[in-house]
Structure 1
Amino acid sequence: MAQDLRILSSIAKVFLRKVGRVHERRQSNPEVGEVLQITEEGTNRTIFYLVTKKASYQKPNYEDVWNGLCSLREVLLAEDLRKLAIPKLACGLDNLD
């Protein structure tokens, strides 16, 4: 796990430390544009991971970010979730606006 932390962005590191369980979702080999969902045990909070690139060292493009957001919208509507907190996406190290 320590090796994995070195290649993750700073926001991914924070989520991995606070939430964990990311690796169990990665093993399902998600496609770019999919949404991974983790529900925290003992809370009603759900964490959604947008898959915007195949590998952590790659750069996403606007189309893949858009497809991830569309997938997220479908999940939110299907589960009747009405509140969402989301950080800025694909900026910083990913170099998108």
Structure 2
Amino acid sequence: MDEEHYLNEPEAQEGFHFIQKKGDLFSTPETESLAHCISEDCRMGKGIAVIFKKKFAGIEDLKRQDKKPGEVAVLKRGQRFVYYLITKAKANDKPTYDTLKSSLKEMKRHCKQNNVTHLSIPRIGCGLDGLDWDEVSVILCEIFSDMNLILTVYAL
């Protein structure tokens, strides 16, 4: 979908919209929730996690939530939720598709409970974590297809 389609459609039609675009994830409006993958130890020392850590802080808040792989930790920042998908135990581990799916399902529950209709993400699990984007994109569409949600995936 192109930029114009994105700008004209979201509020006009309900349902699930999966949009992939080039750009900066952090340029999204502050009303859009964000998500990315981290380890249970909340290290966030490499990749896009470093930017999340600097921009949203809250490491101690995340640790206090005591989430395990397959769960999701959440920070509220202004009008948005920032979701931290816990997909592995330690920073140097690799996630599995099962822990990713489980974390995404937990995030979906939170999104539904809190009326989140705009969620922006990087290609989760596919950078340093090494999961396959073709498979992850199918998982995302399967999990969120029954929601009224605009899911925008940003790639540089």
Q: What does the per-residue CA deviation read over 1:3-35, in whole Å, with 9 as the maximum and x for residues that have no partner?
A: x86x62211100011110123212332111111
Question: How many Å apart are 1:48 and its aligned residue?
Answer: 0.7
Q: Map 1:7-26 to 2 at 5 A.
A: 8-26=45-63
* Correspondence for 1:61 among 86, 96, 105: 96
Runs of 4+ aligned residues of structure 1 deviating over 3 Å after TM superposition are none
Give the TM-score normalised by structure 1.
Answer: 0.84
Partner of 1:28: 65
Instruction: Select the structure that is richer in strand.
Output: 2
Please state if 1:93 is matched with 2:123.
Answer: no
Q: Which one has a bigger Cα radius of gyration?
A: 2
Unpaired segments ≥5 residues, structure 1: none
Greater relative CO, 1 or 2 (CA 8 Å, sep 6+): 2
Give distance in 2, aligned partners of 1:92 and 1:82.
25
RMSD of aligned residue pairs (Cα, Å): 1.7
Q: Percent identity?
A: 27
Q: Give TM-score scaled by structure 2 length.
A: 0.54
Whether the 8 Å CA contact 2:71–2:86 is kept in 1: the answer is: yes
- Which has a greater percent of helix? 1
Alignment correspondent of 2:119? 84
